[in-house]
Amino acid sequence: MSAIRPSELAERLESGSTDRPFVLDIRPTPSYRSDAIDGSHSLPVYDELRRGEEGALLDRLEEVPADRDVVVVCKMGIVAKKATGLLVDEGYDAATLLGGMSGWNGYHEGSLTYRLRSLIWRLR
């Protein structure tokens, strides 16, 4: 399963290229409204996927473009991995944002936690 670091996603989003990824935020609506990646799309299936209800995402695939790379975002990246796996199984080119919104915010803040996580990701 594919994953993308926050710094890599930021570069792709800022590049202005035509292959801009579709950022799919699966967190609950209140979380999305309070803090989201600019240009991301909300599909609030986080709670259902945590309970193992895969149909919550599969029933809404028409909302996810099949002709673009998809980056799935959740709180920490754990539930996003499940969503990414489902999308890949359905033929999408999908990746999980490592660290989720926590990682994204840490990247932008330059936090020590993010820098340590980033080091670990590079060592893998």
65: CATH: 3.40.250.10
Question: Residue 114 in contact with residue 103, Cβ under 8 Å?
Answer: yes
The pLDDT value recorded for residue 34 is 96
d(CA 56, CA 15): 32
Question: What is the model's pTM?
Answer: 0.89
d(CA 21, CA 96): 12
The domain of 117 spans 2-123
N-to-C CA span, the chain: 14
- Pick the closest to residue 73 from 31, 34, 24, 30 (CA basis): 24
How far apart, in Å, are the Cα atoms of 1 and each of 15, 32, 81, 94, 123?
Answer: 24, 24, 8, 8, 17
Number of independent structural domains in the chain: 1
d(CA 96, CA 113): 19
Question: Tens digit of pLDDT for each residue in 28-78?
Answer: 999 999 999 999 999 999 999 999 999 999 999 999 999 999 999 999 999
Q: Evaluate if residue 26 carries a pLDDT over 80.
A: yes
The percentage of the chain sitting over the pLDDT mark of 90, rounded to a whole number, equals: 77
Compute the mean pLDDT over every residue in the chain, rounded to the nearest whole number.
91
Q: Evaluate if residue 98 carries a pLDDT over 90.
A: yes
The pLDDT value recorded for residue 1 is 59
The pLDDT value recorded for residue 114 is 67
